[in-house]
Structure 1
């Protein structure tokens, strides 16, 4: 299952990309993140991060790996014993000093849970995605310099 949102922030593409490329930034903009730390790498492809998140009152830990780190695209894969997630951000210019962000999060809970997960998780994940857009917009417009 997945959630996807497209929105625009009033900050330049290069600054937005540089900020989001460091997955530790989830500490600032992801409402579900309790803590993210870098465990290896220099921030480029192959860099790993330990992430602890809370969702519906349950904490879970995943190891994220940066799979794509480009100015216009960022992709991180998270794994633990029960789930695989992908956070995929596509960034495009949206006029002078603005960036359009397409944020897609995919969740794979294994064959059996994937069948029932949409019944229980669709609404809460959609609400979390809406919160994420609001928080990411706020943080980017506070932390990334304007053009």
Structure 2
């Protein structure tokens, strides 16, 4: 299952890419993130992160790895633990001095969770995706 959103922010494509591809910044823009810390790498392809997130009242830990990095147009990171795999992908398109962001999050749930996820989890993921867009906008376009 997945969620995706496309929206535009008033920042340069390079600024947007640099900010969102530093996955430690999920601390600021991802409403589900409790904490993300870089555990290895230089920020590019293969960089790893320890992520603690909270979703539907439960905390979970995932190990993320940067699996796509093409500055300034594409970034992707995959997080895994024993119950889920989450892949965040972002495509950036220059729109004058603004940047269009296409954000997609794919989720695979393993075991019994995978059977009930479409019924209970999908509506919550849609709501979380909307919150994520608002938090990214707030982080990249702070009020003057």
TM-score band w.r.t. shorter chain:
over 0.9
Question: What is the TM-score normalised by the length of structure 1?
Answer: 0.92
Q: Corresponding residue for 1:132?
A: 132
Task: Map 1:26-65 to 2 at 5 A.
Answer: 26-65=26-65
Q: Provide the alpha-carbon RMSD of the alignment.
A: 1.0
User: What is the CA–CA distance in structure 1 between the aligned matches of 2:64 and 2:134, rounded to whole Å?
Assistant: 23
Equivalenced residues, count: 141
Q: Corresponding residue for 1:87?
A: 88
User: What is the CA–CA distance in structure 1 between the aligned matches of 2:69 and 2:25, rounded to whole Å?
Assistant: 14
Following superposition, which runs of at least 4 residues in structure 1 exceed 4 angstroms of deviation?
none
Shift of 1:111: 5.8
2:141 counterpart of 1:141: yes
Q: Corresponding residue for 1:98?
A: 98
Shift of 1:97: 1.3
Q: Corresponding residue for 1:20?
A: 20
User: What is the CA–CA distance in structure 1 between the aligned matches of 2:110 and 2:37, rounded to whole Å?
Assistant: 26
1:81 partner SS: coil
